[in-house]
């Protein structure tokens, strides 16, 4: 199936590695061009080079907590590639810990990046898109059910689902789509860190795999393919919904 991605241009945040990078790989493989951003300048430059360099990918050092970042990325896409067709908004996971034990400062810092940074990026890109544009928010299965030990994520991700739905309603008449993507246990550096934090990473991984009907952790590319489809013209009638990519772990119907 032709996803219709040839020469379309997407901005992806948090995309020097993990789920953002995996999505960028899938977009570029189907003919799209991308602007990647991350806080680590060397890492995002290397990621852009690996995806084909300036003809296919551009890396920008930027932090979603900075109010200037959304406009910077939108302008980079237009100046370098001449257009903008959508975005994937991905933010590094907040620090682990239960909601009852996390400090006010941790909540504040996470809110600035995970929540407000995502909202700012979402509304800026939505306003810049024309008919056929699409935005995906990388959230978490915690948006539908709390994940033990991830109190900040449990608190902020459901709110972002509501924001995404609200923006989808507002911009739908202009042909702009907004979808939430809910990754479960996918083998990224983030999940490796969470397993390691338990003190027994092998056991933690085995327990996680035991809770997944498919019996294994996901590969980043499996998420990337779903995200690339959701952002593509082939998914033109999908908006205002959340899509779990979790191997069947969520139990809600």
What pLDDT, in 10s, does the model give residues 88-144? Answer: 999 877 888 899 999 999 999 999 999 999 999 999 999 999 899 999 999 999 999
pLDDT in tens, 134-189: 999 999 999 998 988 889 999 999 999 999 999 999 999 999 999 999 999 999 88
Strand order through the sheet with 57-61:
57-61, 33-38, 9-12, 86-89, 134-138, 177-183, 241-245
Measured in degrees and rounded to the nearest 5, phi and psi for residue 95 equal: -60, 145
The domains of the chain, with CATH numbers, are 9-245 (3.40.50.720)
pLDDT for position 66: 95
Copy the structure tokens of residue 20.
Answer: 């953002």
Across 219-234, b (16+ Cβ under 10 Å) vs e yields: ebebbbbbbbbbbbbb
Mean pLDDT for the stretch of residues 209-234: 97
Whether the Cβ atoms of residue 83 and residue 9 lie closer than 8 Å to each other? yes
- Reference 249, options 153, 198, 183; nearest CA is 183
Cα–Cα distance measured from residue 168 to residue 182, given in angstroms and rounded to the nearest whole number: 17
pLDDT at 197 > cutoff 90: no
pLDDT for position 147: 87
Taking all residues of the chain, what is their mean pLDDT, rounded to a whole number? 95
**72 vs 8, 43, 103, 194, CA distance in Å?**
19, 19, 32, 32
């Amino acid at each position: 199936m032709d996803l219709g991605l040839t020469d379309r241009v997407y901005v992806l945040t948090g995309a020097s590695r993990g789920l953002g990078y995996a999505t960028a790989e899938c977009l570029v493989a189907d003919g799209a061009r991308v602007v990647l951003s991350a806080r680590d300048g060397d890492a995002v430059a290397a990621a852009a080079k690996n995806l084909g360099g300036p003809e296919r990918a551009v890396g920008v050092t930027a932090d979603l907590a900075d109010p200037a970042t959304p406009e910077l990325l939108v302008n980079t896409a237009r100046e370098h590639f001449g257009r903008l067709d959508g975005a994937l908004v991905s933010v590094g996971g907040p620090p682990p810990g239960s909601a009852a034990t996390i400090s006010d400062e941790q909540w504040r810092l996470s809110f600035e990046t995970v929540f407000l940074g995502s909202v700012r990026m979402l509304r800026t890109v939505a306003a810049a898109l024309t008919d056929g544009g699409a935005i995906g928010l990388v959230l978490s299965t915690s948006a539908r059910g709390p994940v033990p030990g991830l109190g900040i994520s449990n608190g902020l991700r459901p709110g972002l689902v509501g924001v995404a739905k609200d923006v989808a309603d507002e911009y739908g008449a202009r042909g702009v789509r907004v979808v939430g993507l809910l990754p479960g246990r996918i083998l990224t550096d983030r999940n490796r860190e969470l397993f390691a934090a338990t003190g027994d990473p092998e056991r933690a991984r085995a327990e996680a795999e035991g809770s997944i009907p498919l019996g294994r952790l996901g590969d980043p590319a499996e998420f990337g393919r779903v995200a690339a489809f959701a952002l593509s013209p082939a998914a033109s009638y999908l908006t205002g919904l959340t899509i779990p990519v979790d191997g069947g772990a969520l139990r809600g119907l």
